[in-house]
Every structure is written in structure tokens, then in C-alpha cells.
């Protein structure tokens, strides 16, 4: 398969981690990139100067900044072919330890933020009659883990929204792909990225301390290579048609297969009862 001609990528959370790797890979492949983040200077510093790179300030929770970033992209390049909704945060804590403000903040960044950016980009793609929306979800969008319940809520929400959006935008020639990365060596587990609970609940204290210690030990130990994930994304965007989902990493594959097996077991265990609930079924007594 030969690569497509130059495309315009719009990447959120591009100042570090996966976003930086995606930006590097897209530029190396000859594409133009609108690399967005809260610190556009850091984006410019991380990459060689080229007229194919536009670094733009974008806090995805700010609707006006999303609109302004898309306007800047259109002024510079005249189109947007690929949107990578990558920006995110990870709040850690048992649910009862998370304050309402923290719940709101987690959903604002990981769910409403991608909605803000996608809402700004979709009119461009509809007018073009083409486009590719890619959402960076997580293994936690497939399976919920303790101490990450609010994070999982944001990723499960992202998946439900994107799954439905796919059918809404398909008639306009717009494709949708959900990416479920496993455990990749990014800054997500770094001290400056981990966000701990606001609330202390005595019944969780011992387990919470153990979870904090575990998470703090993970930085730099993850098995996944962001550079290889970025190369995979280049391949996915050249596929015709692209996949609706890409499970990234051996650990993520194991999670996905576990999810399938658990769902099938639940279906099989209560299949007869599940099938007996229509109005024309006689009620068993």
C-alpha cells in the first residue's frame, strides 16, 4: 500500500508523550501538522522548524480556544484531514475519595474536551466530504480498574460517544477510529501528571496508600513504545477504509479478549432469562 499524499493532521495534547510522538511521525511522513496544547512554545521547541508545522494554544476544555485553533488551522492549511483527540488527564483515587470538582474536571478533559474540538472540526470535514476522527481511549475504556473509576467513566463515555458518532458522520465521508492503548511509556505516570484524590476516607486509607505507591513506581517502566504506536497510526490513516477500532499493545489485546470472554459468560449464564422478556412471552410462575 503506497502512502497517501500530504494530509493535514490536527493533534491535541501535542506538547509531550503520545501527542509529541504522533506529531513527529506525521511530520516525518511528509504531512502537515497542527500541533496543539497548553504550551505551544514547548511544541515548537521539540521539533525542527518547518512550514508544515503550526503550533497552536489549545485547552480542550475551552470551547472558544477550540474554535480559534481550527480557524488558525484553516487559515494556514485550508483543510483538516485527520483529527487526533489525544489530550487527556488521569485522576487517581477510589470513587468516594474523588471530590465532585475532580469528577467534573476529569470528564471535562477526557470526554467533553474531545467533544469541543470535534464540534469545531466537523463543519470543515463535512464541507470537504472527507475526514478521519481518531480518539485515543485506553485499556480503561474496555475494562474498569479500581482506583481509576472516574478515569474509566471518562473513557467509557468517550467510547460510547465515538461509537454513535461514527454512524452520524459516515454519510459525509468521515471515518471514526477508537484507539485503545495499553501501558505505554509516556508521562502519564510521572509526578507532574498523576492527580490524587481530594477527599480522605479512612476505610480506604491503607489501600489508597498502596495504590499511590504502585502508581509512583510505574513511571518509565511501561512496556509500550509511543514511537511504534505513532508509526501504527500512520499506517491506520493510510488504510482504506481505516478500522473502527485499534487495540494497541499485547496488554491491551489481553484486556480486550478478557472483556469479550466475560461478556460472553454473562450472556450464556442468563440467556434463557434474557430471551424471555418480550411482551408476547408467557410469564413463568
Strand spans (E) along the chain: 8-11, 32-37, 53-57, 82-85, 90-91, 131-136, 174-181, 194-195, 245-248
List Cα–Cα distances, 141 to 159, 221, 245, 258, 282, in angstroms: 7, 21, 12, 13, 38
Alpha-carbon distance of 284 to 272, in angstroms, equals 11
> Are 126 and 70 a contacting pair, CB within 8 Å?
no
φ and ψ at 78, to 5 degrees?
80, 0
List Cα–Cα distances, 12 to 9, 99, 280, in angstroms: 10, 26, 51
DSSP-derived letter for residue 2 is P
On the 0-12 / 13-18 / 19+ scale of CB atoms within 10 A, 203 is exposed
The neighbour count for residue 256, using CB atoms within 10 Å, is 17
Alpha-carbon distance of 137 to 118, in angstroms, equals 15
Alpha-carbon distance of 168 to 175, in angstroms, equals 10
Which residues form the catalytic set?
A: 137, 151, 155
SS3 138: coil
Amino acid at each position: 500500500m503506497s502512502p497517501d499524499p500530504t494530509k493535514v493532521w490536527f493533534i491535541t495534547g501535542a506538547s509531550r508523550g503520545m501527542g509529541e510522538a504522533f506529531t513527529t511521525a506525521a511530520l516525518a511522513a511528509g504531512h502537515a501538522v497542527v500541533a496543539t496544547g497548553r504550551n505551544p512554545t514547548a511544541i515548537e521547541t521539540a521539533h525542527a522548524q518547518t512550514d508544515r508545522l503550526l503550533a497552536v494554544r489549545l485547552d480542550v476544555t475551552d470551547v472558544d480556544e477550540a474554535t480559534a485553533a481550527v480557524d488558525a488551522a484553516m487559515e494556514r492549511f485550508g483543510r483538516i484531514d485527520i483529527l487526533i483527540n489525544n489530550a487527556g488527564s488521569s485522576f487517581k483515587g477510589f470513587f468516594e475519595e474523588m471530590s465532585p470538582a475532580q469528577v467534573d474536571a476529569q470528564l471535562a478533559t477526557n470526554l467533553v474536551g474531545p467533544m469541543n474540538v470535534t464540534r469545531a472540526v466537523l463543519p470543515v470535514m463535512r464541507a470537504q466530504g472527507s475526514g478521519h476522527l481518531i480518539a485515543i481511549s485506553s485499556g480503561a475504556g474496555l475494562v474498569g480498574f479500581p482506583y481509576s473509576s472516574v478515569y474509566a467513566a471518562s473513557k467509557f463515555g468517550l467510547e460510547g460517544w465515538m461509537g454513535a458518532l461514527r454512524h452520524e458522520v459516515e454519510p459525509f465521508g468521515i471515518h471514526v477510529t477508537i484507539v485503545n492503548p495499553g501501558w505505554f511509556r509516556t508521562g502519564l505516570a510521572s509526578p507532574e501528571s498523576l492527580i490524587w484524590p481530594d477527599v480522605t476516607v479512612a476505610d480506604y486509607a491503607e489501600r489508597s496508600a498502596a495504590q499511590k505507591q504502585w502508581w509512583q513506581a510505574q513511571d518509565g517502566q511501561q512496556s509500550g513504545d509511543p514511537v511504534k504506536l505513532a508509526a501504527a497510526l500512520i499506517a491506520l490513516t493510510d488504510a482504506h477504509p481505516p478500522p473502527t477500532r485499534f487495540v494497541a499493545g499485547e496488554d491491551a489485546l489481553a484486556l480486550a479478549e478478557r472483556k469479550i470472554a466475560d461478556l460472553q459468560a454473562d450472556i450464556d449464564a442468563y440467556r434463557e432469562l434474557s430471551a424471555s422478556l418480550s411482551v408476547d412471552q408467557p410469564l413463568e410462575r
